[in-house]
Amino acid sequence: MNLDIALWLSQDAITNGAVYALLAIALVLVYTVTRIIFVPQGEFISFAALSLASLQAGQVPGTVYLLIAGGILVVAADSVGLPRAVALQRLPGRLIRQMALPLAAGGIAWWSASRPDDLWLQIVATLAIVTPLGPMVYRLAFQPIAHASVLVLLIVAVAVHYVLTGMGLVFFGGEGLRSNPYSSLSFNVGVLNVTAQSLLIVFASVTLMAALWFVFERTLYGKALNATAINRTGAQLIGVSPSFSGQLSFALAAFIAAISGLLIAPTTTVYYDTGFLISLKGFVGATVGGMASYPLAVVGSLLVGFLEAGSSFWWSAFKDSLVFTLIVPVLLWRSLATPHSEGDERQ
Amino acid sequence: MKARLPPMIAIAAIAAAPLLLSDYYIILMNYIGLASLVALGLVLLTGVAGLTSFGQAAFVGLGAYATAVVTTRYGWSPWLGLAVGMTLTATAALFLGFITLRLSDQYLPLGTIAWGISIYFAFGNLVFLGEHSGIPGIPPLSLFGWTIDTGWRLYLVIWLVVLLALLAARNLLDSRIGRAIRTLNGHARMAESFGVDTGRLKIIVFVYSALLASLAGWLYAHFLRYVSPSPFGINAGIDYLFMAVIGGSGHIWGAVAGASILTLMREWLKDILPHLLGRNGNYEIIVFGLLVVLLLHRTSSGLMPFLVRMLPGGRLLRPVAAAPLPQRPRLARGETLLAIDRVSKSFGAIGAVRELSFELKAGGIVGLIGPNGAGKSTVFNLATGLLPVTAGSIMFRGQRIERLGSREIAELGIARTFQHPNLLADRSALENAAIGAHLRGEAGLIAASLRLERAEEARLRDEAARQLERVGLGANLHDAAGSLPLGSQRILEIARALCADPLLLLLDEPAAGLRHLEKQALAALLRDLRDDGVSILLVEHDMNFLMGLADRVLVMEFGRLIADGPPHAVQSDPAVLEAYLGVAA
Amino acid sequence: MSRREAPALLVARDVTVAYGKVAAVCGVSFDIRLGEVVSIVGPNGAGKTTLLAGLMGLLPLRGEVERFGKGAVPPPTVEQLVRAGMGLIPERRELFATLSVEDNLRLGGFDRWRQGERDGATDLANIYALFPQLRERRHQQAATLSGGERQMLAMGRALMARPKLLLLDEPSLGLAPLVTREIFRIIDRLRTEGVSILLVEQNASAALQLADYAYVMESGSFVLEGPAAELARNERVIEAYLGLAPVEGPRKLQRETAKQQV
């Protein structure tokens, strides 16, 4: 391998690593706030990429119907257990609150499908469809068992992943889709051919990370989420309910996943199950930092990017499996570098 | 004496099944049996020890491929295939466990994902292993000339193995080593301070669960007579985890329940959905996922607790009296027990303990008091090896201990209680106390699985019961520790420490939250222990409590010793009055 | 009881709270009136903490509870109660250990801020005036505070929500006498500022000196109630909870502490 190739691979590694880092941040966020390993993240990526491609093909994506059905289910779930009179009395208000966003997103999607050349509208429509699915999934699948063990939450997360993958297949079929490039510009820096596409990815990732940092360090909402991650009972006592922080963190995570989906949509053919593998790499990055540290999650994700770029050079056919195999030496190194382990105490 | 009826009914049903079921269901039952074996390993690993593995399917594959290669490529006996598979599995699991479990519990899932994906990739790409088309022509098993080649013969073998594995797992959990395994789920520090080698035990449990998976793989290869990579991928690994959780991962029968439900659900969905929806599609996975979510919404700890609740409970008795365990020889009164010499401990820039020195002689009750944040609990953590000292030395009976781990210190005869009770909340007081006696037994995992350690176990349980009776919890032997009031939980902690037969007992605020009469009972107990040759150092806030009890009181403030002497002298010491009451005397 | 004429902030009738499978509180009835400190004393395990958790919506509760004159169907959540003006300072404090003291306090006012109230800075200044130590440590992580400072921070955080009714669980637990005295002084001051307080305490002598009215709880039910001064003279209470230690020295100390608290 010569320097040119190394540079070219590094560009690839950083571009991919930036996306993995975003996903890893979302995983750490959801895990620390809700103790849920956000397995369905991959479907949100696929949904975003495929919804964008559908809109560009002039079609209203099936995810719109999922969003509307989800809104109705949320209203139904909120009404269960209430006395009938109370439920009926609150129904109109709830319908307006819960259905406004899905119906608006549906409207934007219809409008956008009729304007296949309006890229900004497509992006807005995609974000409007995918982001509200996050809190919906939390409300329906996780909120009723918010106190269950990490393991049970994980199993439910995998089950939700199955459901959404199945739906992805129903909505978009088994054929992959690729959206139009945002820009076909590229320019040479020294020996390196840099595409505007990869610059955009890195720029968008860094901007989003900075925005997230600002939210967590400087806004009371971000601090409230952080507080939930630190002490759940304490958060309840200041008026932050687990459902509030759960839905908020899922909304953020779905938004991040949707952005990631939009970023990769023009770079590769996306299938209904593509997102899962990408998300799994974000997960590997996040676990390098113990699912607890944002900076380490970013470092871990860049590491995954480089491992992947390296293995795609040497064994391109097996690059996906090899990324995971190469984690073993990383673990071994961490294990030997760490003098002793501290058992997790749950007291 | 738990009700034995339900397992008997389950066993009878399994025995009768071949007579009633069609061939199709016999084969399905065989799959369920194999999955139950793998899920049982996960019940121990995940449900009991709290460690998650996604790689069990890969261990099944290792067992299956090992015997496939050994029997088809070399023509050797399937039994040799079993031996090879087990050896390979144990090696792989040891390696994985060694590199991940030393770090932190969440690295095992990551390590097993990496392992699961890699081995699947190896199966599918190595020419030697037949690549994606796999290895056909595996011979059937035969036992004493009886060839096991039909569905129902396999059924008998598979389910016999499953029942034996269930029996071994039940025995294991009801033993000294089983109690230690239960502490792995969030109580490792406590367990270490009673001599449990938690790091080693985690690896052992992981290897045990991997071997169960490998055994299932061996049976699978000789049942299907053909292996290919697809059943051993990461999805299959996740499926086994589903089975353990849905069955109820804390119960050994949960493995069978989970394996049955999942396998049947999948089969039925495949049959029913196309009829219901009138078309073929990939709706199974959607409906399957929804059913799992709904099921866990109904009963988030799985099916077994739900089923167990409907069954009658048995009457629980005190363990029968057994020969007492040997005791350490008591020390002569006045011998130097603990010598703390210029010990310092800093957390970052904060000095929690500064140049602290004092000695304890055998046979006394010494109180350690001081305002909050004075460093009292830190002294306990340093003396029990939970924290390393920054500088200085600690000697116990003339031996340096400041560099030893909690385990070694426990072995020397120091036992402690924790400021916040550190108990297995859903296990009985008796089991919790018996954890304290861990170092007084030696039976391991194999002896426990085969019930070869019953004599020792009886003595341990009797000791636990005796100590609980001594501290006044004789009526609560079988109550879940978490259901006891906080004060009683602290007392239970003392009983657990006593089970370790300590020479020095460190009690961290034992009287906090006790009412007056209970405090008096506690004081009487501590005097009784002192007369019995146990030396006691206790951190306490309640001056009244100490005044009538301690022979000597040490007062700490800001990490230093500011007074040391008999209670009454200390009480009128100007420095103490200033620290405690804020009045300059 | 004729002196208790102020309007009731909280009325509980026949309240039962279960912790796990065991009903830790069985059928208790009581009320708290405006501007009162009401204390519940009793041995460990009597169900005091469980009762507070039930009142605050952290555990499911059966029976009738009227808070601020309103009934409770469906049962209100913790967050609704915080908004309605109830605050709980739990036995374990439940602080945000890795956040700074000031962030902990500001988060105490999160719900008011979310409601559009922008007077958090004034509240913060008031809290710092009440607990000058917290101002000194405002940039420190909550985890680095001493036990007494933690209790102050927990109180400060709860006060940031401007509660009308504060539930305090064992504020003196684990604190040295000097710090305890300071905490009780502040509780007394809060009462004069119009915050009503339900005080659960194992330190019965201190609690009874401070409270206006008190209940004695044993095994999940109330066995005695009355004006706190009367209960403090009740023989049964003296014997069971005030603890007459046989040694002369410590009693003297305790009395001194007590005098300074009054």
Sign of CA dihedral B211, B217, B222, B227: negative
Helix (H, G, I), strand (E, B) or coil at B91: helix
Q: How far is CA A20 from CA A206, A259, A339, B109, B405, in A?
A: 12, 12, 29, 19, 40
pLDDT (tens digit per residue) in A262-285: 999 998 899 999 999 899 899 888
HSE at residue A95, side-chain half, CA atoms within 13 A, is: 6
| Stretch 304-323 of chain A: residues touching chain B, C-beta under 8 Å | 318, 321-322
Helix (H, G, I), strand (E, B) or coil at C201: strand
Residue C139 scores a pLDDT above 70: yes
Q: Which residue of C44, C144, C246 is in closest CB contact with B487?
A: C44
Chain C residues close to B518, C-beta within 8 Å: 43-44
Pick among B372, B543, B583 to test the C interface (most C CBs inside 10 A)? B372
Task: Tally DSSP H helices, then E strands, for chain B.
Answer: 23, 12
Q: Any residues with CB less than 8 A from the CB of A10 and at least 6 apart, and which? A: A306, A309
For residue B417 the two structure tokens come to 């209680």
Residue A347 scores a pLDDT above 60: no
Q: Which residue of C79, C96, C97 is in closest CB contact with A241?
A: C79
Q: How far is CA A240 from the centre of its chain?
A: 23
What pLDDT does residue C242 have?
58
Cβ contact, residue pair A331, B111, below 8 Å: yes
Strands (E), chain C: 8-19, 22-33, 37-41, 61-67, 86-89, 165-169, 196-201, 213-218, 221-227
C140 touches chain B (CB under 8 A): no
Q: Nearest CA of chain A to the CA of B333: how many Å?
A: 37
A234 pLDDT band, cuts 50/70/90, is very high
Cβ contact, residue pair C147, B373, below 8 Å: yes
What pLDDT does residue B579 have?
65
B4 pLDDT band, cuts 50/70/90, is low
B104 pLDDT band, cuts 50/70/90, is low
Shortest CA distance from B509: residue in chain C: C174
What pLDDT does residue B172 have?
93
Q: Nearest CA of chain A to the CA of C177: how many Å?
A: 26
The residue count for chain B: 585
Q: What is the dihedral of CA B449, B451, B454, B456, to 10 degrees?
A: -40
Helix (H, G, I), strand (E, B) or coil at B391: strand
What pLDDT does residue B87 have?
96
Residue A1 scores a pLDDT above 80: no
Residue A70 scores a pLDDT above 90: yes
Q: In chain C, what's the furthest Cα-to-Cα distance?
A: 58
Sign of CA dihedral C53, C56, C62, C68: positive
Angle at C126 between CA C124 and CA C132, to 5 degrees: 90
Mean pLDDT (chain A, rounded)? 88
A173 touches chain B (CB under 8 A): no
Shortest CA distance from A286: residue in chain B: B110
* Higher pLDDT among residues A334 and C112, named by residue: C112
CA distance C225 to B426: 35
What pLDDT does residue C249 have?
33
Chain B residues close to A315, C-beta within 8 Å: none
Chain C residues close to B520, C-beta within 8 Å: none
Helix (H, G, I), strand (E, B) or coil at B554: strand
CA distance B566 to B547: 9
Q: Which residue of C97, C98, C157 is in closest CB contact with A238?
A: C157
For residue A317 the two structure tokens come to 């056919």
CB pairs A-C closer than 8 Å: 72
C75 touches chain B (CB under 8 A): no
Task: Please tell me which chains touch C, using 3 or more CB pairs under 8 Å as the contact test.
Answer: A, B
Cβ contact, residue pair A237, C90, below 8 Å: yes
pLDDT (tens digit per residue) in A170-228: 999 888 888 888 878 888 877 777 888 889 999 999 999 999 999 998 999 999 999 99
* Higher pLDDT among residues B300 and A63, named by residue: A63
pLDDT (tens digit per residue) in A140-166: 999 999 988 888 898 899 999 999 999
What pLDDT does residue B85 have?
95
Q: How far is CA B491 from CA B447, B467, B501, B510, in A?
A: 32, 11, 16, 7
Please report the ipTM that was assigned to this predicted complex: 0.89
Q: Are C105 and C124 in contact (CB under 8 A)?
A: yes
Residue B581 scores a pLDDT above 80: no
Helix (H, G, I), strand (E, B) or coil at C208: helix
Q: Any residues with CB less than 8 A from the CB of C251 and at least 6 apart, and which? A: C244, C245
What pLDDT does residue B178 have?
94
Helix (H, G, I), strand (E, B) or coil at C31: strand
Percent of chain B with pLDDT over 70: 94
B580 pLDDT band, cuts 50/70/90, is low
Q: Nearest CA of chain C to the CA of A299: how many Å?
A: 22
Percent of chain C with pLDDT over 90: 53
H or E element, residue B354: strand B350-361
Sign of CA dihedral C249, C250, C253, C258: negative
Mean pLDDT (chain B, rounded)? 87
Residue C16 scores a pLDDT above 50: yes
Ordered domains of chain C (ranges, CATH): 8-85+165-261 (3.40.50.300), 96-162 (no CATH)
Chain B residues close to A318, C-beta within 8 Å: 121, 125
* Higher pLDDT among residues A64 and B375, named by residue: A64
* Higher pLDDT among residues C101 and B186, named by residue: C101
Sign of CA dihedral C155, C156, C158, C163: positive
Helix (H, G, I), strand (E, B) or coil at A76: helix
A338 pLDDT band, cuts 50/70/90, is low
Task: List every span in chain B annotated with CATH 3.40.50.300.
Answer: 336-581
Helix axes C177-192, C147-159, angle to 10 degrees: 10
φ, ψ of residue B36 to 5 degrees: the values are: -60, -40
Chain B residues close to C246, C-beta within 8 Å: 548
Q: Which residue of C94, C110, C161 is in closest CB contact with A224?
A: C110
pLDDT (tens digit per residue) in A249-265: 999 999 999 999 999 99
Shortest CA distance from A83: residue in chain C: C74
Q: Using CB atoms within 10 Å of the CB of residue C120, give its burial: 0 to 12 exposed, 13 to 18 middle, 19+ buried.
A: middle
Chain C residues close to B543, C-beta within 8 Å: 177, 250, 253
CA distance A149 to B300: 8
Q: Nearest CA of chain C to the CA of A219: how many Å?
A: 10
CA distance C82 to C95: 16
Q: In chain B, what's the furthest Cα-to-Cα distance?
A: 95
Cβ contact, residue pair B541, C176, below 8 Å: yes
Q: Does residue C74 have a cis peptide bond before it, meaning omega lies within 30 degrees of 0?
A: yes
Q: What is the dihedral of CA B308, B312, B313, B315, to 10 degrees?
A: -160
pLDDT (tens digit per residue) in C52-83: 999 999 998 888 898 888 776 678 889 999 99
Helix (H, G, I), strand (E, B) or coil at B382: helix
What is the average per-residue pLDDT within A67-90?
A: 88
Pick among C25, C44, C255 to test the B interface (most B CBs inside 10 A)? C44
Q: Are B151 and B145 in contact (CB under 8 A)?
A: no
Residue A315 scores a pLDDT above 90: no
What pLDDT does residue A271 have?
93
What is the average per-residue pLDDT within B412-430?
A: 89
Kindly give the pairing relationship between strand B146-148 and strand B141-143.
antiparallel
Q: Any residues with CB less than 8 A from the CB of A89 and at least 6 apart, and which? A: none
Task: Please tell me which chains touch A, using 3 or more CB pairs under 8 Å as the contact test.
Answer: B, C
Q: Nearest CA of chain B to the CA of C118: how many Å?
A: 36
CATH of the domain spanning B336-581, picked from 3.90.1150.60, 3.30.365.10, 3.40.50.720, 3.40.50.300? 3.40.50.300
What pLDDT does residue C246 have?
29
Angle at C219 between CA C217 and CA C224, to 5 degrees: 30
What pLDDT does residue B280 have?
62
Chain B residues close to C20, C-beta within 8 Å: 482-483
What pLDDT does residue C174 have?
65
What pLDDT does residue B6 have?
73
pLDDT (tens digit per residue) in C212-228: 999 998 878 898 999 99
Q: Are C261 and C209 in contact (CB under 8 A)?
A: yes
Shortest CA distance from A347: residue in chain C: C92
B485 touches chain C (CB under 8 A): yes
Show the 3-state SS of B477-526.
CCCEHHHCCHHHHHHHHHHHHHHCCCCEEEEECCCCCCCHHHHHHHHHHH
Choose among A146, A154, A142, A126: nearest CA to A67.
Answer: A126
pLDDT (tens digit per residue) in C232-261: 888 877 766 654 332 233 333 343 333 333
Q: How far is CA C141 from CA C105, C134, C150, C153, in A?
A: 12, 11, 11, 11
What pLDDT does residue A331 have?
72
The residue count for chain A: 347
Q: Are B261 and B252 in contact (CB under 8 A)?
A: no
Sign of CA dihedral B83, B87, B90, B93: negative
Residue B201 scores a pLDDT above 70: yes
Pick among A232, A237, A248 to test the C interface (most C CBs inside 10 A)? A237
CA distance B496 to B463: 10
Beta bridge partners of B546: none
Q: What is the DSSP letter of A99?
A: H
